[in-house]
Structure 1
Amino acid sequence: MNNNSVFLKIFLTCMLSFLPHLAVAENCIAQASDFEFIKKSKQQGLLRYTKDHHQAYFDYQARAPFNSYLNHAYQYISVANPRAAMPCPVFTQTYQQLVTQGSRKPNPTIADIIAPFELKHSQSKKAVLLVHGLTDSPFTYHDLAQVYYQQGYTVRTILLPGHGSAASALQDVDLQQWQQAVRYAIERTTQDFDEVILGGYSTGAALLIDYAITQALSSKITALMLFSPGSEPHNKQGWIAKWLDLIPFLNWIDKDADVDFAKYESFPLNAAAASYDAMSLVSIKNLSKRPALALPVFSVISDIDATIDSHATLKLLNALHNTNLSRYKKLDTLVLYGSSTILPPNFAADYRVLNPQCASEACLKIHGISHIAIVNSPQNPHYGISASYRNCGSFIGGEKLYKTCKTTKSPQLGERTAANLKQYPTLQRLTYNPFFPELKKQISTFIKNVEHAQGK
């Protein structure tokens, strides 16, 4: 063997050993499971900052066609998100339908996956408008979209300002911007359709409740559906965030790796302040000063939600129910995961409460349903049982524990309560809902009951 052959053999061996590392950078799935990249990104903030978020402002007041809004949001993501063009082979059923309808390309990038969408139901004048939560994206609704679509509804989602790019964009956002976006989407959708359901997750739910009790509601709006609704933060010191944010160089509550393409993992102080402002609008104290809600309400919560105070949520739902019109009260439905003993003694006796219990071995190994799990199917390719992404977060102290959470073959799953973290220091936060098949049926039943009550 001559020297050239030896050199070539050595070169090829080196390249082959390097290929796995190269492959990691090829798409969003591989990157989310590369611990060396995760560690580097967390330390250096590689994905924490936008490329450029100074895009032309979308004029929400102009009530432009929804398709114009969708195009603007997509262009913003393409410019501002540091990974917008990265291939992201996450083929949910919703994405495949969007491809069939001609609004997405067959080989998705991150921009394609997280951008707001309209899943059109031909020859239907019914629509559901879905609003995501803080740090999230419209990908939140890829699973739930199917439930509504199968009931004959066109599904619309929006992108709240400050989202869809990188966590640093939330340093320049405020409550009023979110309210403008929600108002535009609701009023545009009621202009385009004859029947409209409003659905919100977490902070998005708080924004919808605020709209529903402060604005002159269109008679076309038929129901309000809330998933892990934002009532009060679990951390009661949230009000301090806006003041701490004024201190120079003190901008972040959490700095994480941000490898979750659909949700920010880092968390700016300003984001907490804006979310606190949104939830303050629907506090029990403020509700007493506002008109009563006049819509049937469907809600889904967990008893041990570590993000939102479940006790405050139950008080909020009870207050909305007690002042609601009698024809809507009988439709109000609560799906409660966990122990029903969390229900307050004065909770309305005529409130329909569903309390699913799990007896399967797989479910019994889950230590509580988390705030972020409720909207995702176990089959979700990014958040489901077989997904490569793991939510470990800055709540796990120390690189060793963080690495174990990200890499162990037998992760513990659940909500990040103090008790769970004490018993399972490397707990992976549950990102899917084991009760999702039941939830689909519960949503469908609620919608049919609402339509029946309207004589549809």
Structure 2
Amino acid sequence: METRARFAKIVWLGLLCVAALSVLLLGLRAYNSRTGPPLELWHTYVPQELTAGQLDHSDWNAYLNREDWLFQQVRREVTDRLPASARVASNRYFEKSPVYPPGFDHDWNRSYEMLPSGKPVGAVVLLHGLTDSPYSLRHIARIYVAHGFVAIGIRLPGHGTVPAGLTDTDWVTWMAATRLAMREAAHRVGPDRPLHVVGFSNGGALAMKYALDSLEDRRLVRPQRIILFSPMIGVTRYARFAGLASLPALLPPFAKAAWLGIVPEFNPFKYNSFPVNGATQSHRLTTALQEELIRLARADRLRALPPVLTFQSVIDSTVSTRAIIAAMYARFASNGSELVLFDVNRRANISQILNPASPLALSRVMPRFPVAYRITVIANAASGPENMQERVLEPGSLQWQTRALDLVYPSQVFSLSHVAIPFPPDDPLYGARPDEASASRYGVALGTLVPRGERGGLILSLDTLFRIASNPFFPYVSARLDETISEPVRASGAYSQSADARKTTESATAPERSMPVNADGLSDDLLTDDEVSAAP
């Protein structure tokens, strides 16, 4: 009895400690929410999007009509009511600002359809990321259109209008919007034409979830290809507790606790402020996705999954690269899928300040070989020719096939980033080298800003400017998409690809060669001896 009583007392004390700690943390969160910048109209006005049920019974035109109404409401409730303090050039909601989206020739916050010049040979649906807009995949859409596809870029509910829109939406509604876009794509081209789905970040999770759902639900049209950019297959484990951080917001004086970041909105096509609900919904989506992957893999249903082509930076502070491999690709059957990884710059001129873990990132995510999918690594060597190399390991193989590419890592860039993959260097908003004709098209060229000065002199964190926003290897991405799109199109005989639609990234003087992999799945000349010995 004494032992039982002692145990009960320990448990009781433990519960009291947890409760006290929780109250303390919530108190600190409530106190912190009283500091910092105030909430603005775009943080408090919540547009009324269609619900998941309404989306499942809507068509594309109804969605566009609702979207028109939403933007009219934003104009009336936010833009027309701005106080004098918010009528500044850096505010995307001020109608006289150079970054005011309705003032552009095209507002890429809205859903769009791009049509080829001739009869469509297929259709593609493009799903953008969290806090993002349809702008992010417009370059990918244009590649598809050049191949004769109809491209449908949907603005996911809660996005493109005001950041407060993300405080009152959920992943189930995003999935309903995905289904709507896929219905429209199938309607556009009919059942006998190729249908692809492309997802970026959170949109990558939606694309995969839809494809998995279509394996079991015959009412859903199945895609023939899945293309993913920095897909959100897994997020940090702390995201599951994000909702607790917003509890103080239940009391009006602590409304700012519902936000993880309140930042000026100077980006015309992406929210800078981030609500807690965004993190919560991303975690719920990735949890549901991983659970479905496990269930379908155990039932041997993933053999029917269409090929998945993923482009991913080995260093990614937003999503888990390891989860892409261990939670998704490791469960794939041999269905023609491929994972393309962009390694860190092993010739960067900043080795003295580089995190020692960064050069090891590739070895730490690599699986044990052989595997059922194709792995491609885009990397350079610490010495020798500076050209990037494409290193390919075919499914079931233990031999790397290597070729040189006519691409090099910019000397001051030490890695790619989560946000950079789908943007070419000449993108007018995010590109590092926007062409002169488009450099000021959207009021600011964020990819070119390299400010120097004292801390506190800017309206944004230097982290925002430090992160690379465009992909110096986009020509390689474009060429790989050309190959992927062309194969089923040529098989249909419906479209003849023009000679200038393709881009080459190979070095004409570099022959292909093979090399064995080591025990950790990597070739010995891909990593240094220290890196090989440090691999798990």
TM-score, length basis structure 1: 0.72
Equivalent residue letter for 1:167: P
Indicate the SS of the match to 1:378.
coil
Indicate the SS of the match to 1:356.
strand
Equivalent residue letter for 1:445: E
Indicate the SS of the match to 2:368.
coil
Match of 2:416 among 356, 366, 369: 369
1:341 and 1:87, CA in 2 relative to 1: closer, same or farther beyond 3 A? farther
Deviation per CA, 1:291-348: give whole Å up to 9, x if none.
4251011101110100001111111342342x3xx4xx2x312221115424433255
Structure 1 unaligned blocks of 5 or more: 1-41, 91-103, 393-398, 417-425
Equivalent residue letter for 1:163: H
- Tell me if the contact between 1:296 and 1:450 (Cα under 8 Å) persists in the aligned partners: no
The corresponding residue for 1:212 is 211
Point out the more displaced range, 131-140 or 290-299: 290-299
The corresponding residue for 2:74 is 80
Aligned residues: 369
Deviation per CA, 1:377-428: give whole Å up to 9, x if none.
1111111114644489xxxxxx943647979xxx9xxxx7xxxxxxxxx961
1:114 and 1:87, CA in 2 relative to 1: closer, same or farther beyond 3 A? farther
Q: Does 1:118 pair with 2:113?
A: yes
The corresponding residue for 2:223 is 221
- Tell me if the contact between 1:336 and 1:356 (Cα under 8 Å) persists in the aligned partners: yes
1:436 and 1:402, CA in 2 relative to 1: closer, same or farther beyond 3 A? farther
The corresponding residue for 2:373 is 351
Deviation per CA, 1:106-141: give whole Å up to 9, x if none.
x626x7231110001231141100011110000111
- Tell me if the contact between 2:46 and 2:168 (Cα under 8 Å) persists in the aligned partners: no
1:175 and 1:357, CA in 2 relative to 1: closer, same or farther beyond 3 A? same
- Tell me if the contact between 2:231 and 2:324 (Cα under 8 Å) persists in the aligned partners: yes
Looking at structure 1, the residues matched to 182 and 38 of structure 2 have their Cα atoms a distance apart, in angstroms, of 40
1:175 and 1:365, CA in 2 relative to 1: closer, same or farther beyond 3 A? same
Match of 2:159 among 152, 163, 185: 163
1:346 and 1:453, CA in 2 relative to 1: closer, same or farther beyond 3 A? farther
1:431 and 1:405, CA in 2 relative to 1: closer, same or farther beyond 3 A? farther
Match of 1:140 among 136, 142, 150: 136
Equivalent residue letter for 1:287: L
The alpha-carbon deviation at position 237 of structure 1 amounts to: 0.3
1:84 and 1:265, CA in 2 relative to 1: closer, same or farther beyond 3 A? closer
The corresponding residue for 1:275 is 282
1:87 and 1:130, CA in 2 relative to 1: closer, same or farther beyond 3 A? farther
Looking at structure 2, the residues matched to 225 and 187 of structure 1 have their Cα atoms a distance apart, in angstroms, of 18
Match of 1:300 among 302, 311, 320: 311
Match of 1:448 among 483, 486, 490: 486
Deviation per CA, 1:234-291: give whole Å up to 9, x if none.
x3200001233233232111111121111111111111101111111222x5422134
Looking at structure 2, the residues matched to 131 and 452 of structure 1 have their Cα atoms a distance apart, in angstroms, of 25
Indicate the SS of the match to 2:187.
helix
The corresponding residue for 1:237 is 238
The alpha-carbon deviation at position 220 of structure 1 amounts to: 5.6
- Tell me if the contact between 1:149 and 1:155 (Cα under 8 Å) persists in the aligned partners: yes
Equivalent residue letter for 1:366: V
Deviation per CA, 1:218-238: give whole Å up to 9, x if none.
5662111111000111x3200
Point out the more displaced range, 121-130 or 361-370: 361-370
Match of 2:295 among 276, 289, 293: 289
- Tell me if the contact between 2:163 and 2:273 (Cα under 8 Å) persists in the aligned partners: yes
1:85 and 1:70, CA in 2 relative to 1: closer, same or farther beyond 3 A? farther
Using the aligned pairs only, state the percent identity. 26
The corresponding residue for 2:269 is 262
The corresponding residue for 2:179 is 183
Looking at structure 2, the residues matched to 57 and 87 of structure 1 have their Cα atoms a distance apart, in angstroms, of 33
TM-score, length basis structure 2: 0.62
The alpha-carbon deviation at position 188 of structure 1 amounts to: 2.7
The corresponding residue for 1:196 is 195
Structure 1 vs Structure 2 CA RMSD: 3.3
Looking at structure 2, the residues matched to 356 and 55 of structure 1 have their Cα atoms a distance apart, in angstroms, of 41
Indicate the SS of the match to 2:237.
coil
Equivalent residue letter for 2:224: T
Equivalent residue letter for 1:449: E
- Tell me if the contact between 1:131 and 1:200 (Cα under 8 Å) persists in the aligned partners: yes
Q: Which has the higher contact order (CA 8 A, sep 6+)?
A: 1
The corresponding residue for 1:101 is none
Looking at structure 1, the residues matched to 331 and 97 of structure 2 have their Cα atoms a distance apart, in angstroms, of 41
Deviation per CA, 1:8-51: give whole Å up to 9, x if none.
xxxxxxxxxxxxxxxxxxxxxxxxxxxxxxxxxx9345474265
Looking at structure 2, the residues matched to 370 and 353 of structure 1 have their Cα atoms a distance apart, in angstroms, of 19
1:128 and 1:430, CA in 2 relative to 1: closer, same or farther beyond 3 A? same
1:148 and 1:170, CA in 2 relative to 1: closer, same or farther beyond 3 A? same
Equivalent residue letter for 2:108: I
1:177 and 1:338, CA in 2 relative to 1: closer, same or farther beyond 3 A? same
Task: Specify the structure having the higher radius of gyration (Cα).
Answer: 2
The alpha-carbon deviation at position 440 of structure 1 amounts to: 0.2
